[in-house]
Amino acid sequence: MERIYIGMGSNLAEPAEQLRQALAALEQLPLTRLLACSSFYASDSLLPGQPRYTNAVAALDSNLQPLQLLDALQAIELGQGRERHERWGPRTLDLDILLFGERLIDEPRLRVPHYHLQARAFVLYPLAEIATGLELPDGRTLDALLAACPFEGLERLTP
């Protein structure tokens, strides 16, 4: 089994409930075990005029292959009403594979580590809650990424 970290976000249709439903769906994935979930955090949208996001990070152990997991995550998003109209637009649910074991993946449909991981406090701080001392497959440490990404615009919602 490989350790996988999933970034979760929602800013429509009761975002915290969307994340709770996503966690329940992750628990049902075949060959997969949900290990932990960070606190929920509120963050500003990347684009002006959108509602704030609720974000979290989940840790999984899984025997699914990366594209199998991606397909499963997209099915969960679709099942919770995700519509893909606007890049970085409002959404009921966004599930991103942040890290997949020690793998470096560069496929047309999937890039791991997630290509914006280092610049997104709403991913790094929840990840740090459940992955203390983490070293990324490319050699960077989570501590170094946190030091370069201030805790600005975030509000911790749950312990």
Confidence (pLDDT) at 86: 63
Tokens matching residue 9: 């976000």
Report the SS3 class of residue 43. strand
Asked if the model's pLDDT at residue 13 lies above 70, the reply is yes
Confidence (pLDDT) at 96: 96
The span from the CA of 106 to the CA of 138, in Å, is 13
For residue range 117-127, list pLDDT tens digits in order: 999 999 999 99
By annotation, the residues acting in catalysis are 82, 91, 94, 96
Residue range(s) defining the domain that contains residue 64: 2-156
For residue range 51-94, list pLDDT tens digits in order: 999 999 999 999 999 999 999 999 999 898 767 666 666 889 99
Please state whether the predicted TM-score (pTM) of the whole model is above 0.85: yes
The structural domain count of the chain equals 1
41-75: b (≥16 Cβ within 10 Å) or e: bbbbbeeeebeebbbbbbbbebebebeebbebbee
The CATH number covering residue 87 comes to 3.30.70.560
Asked if the model's pLDDT at residue 158 lies above 80, the reply is no
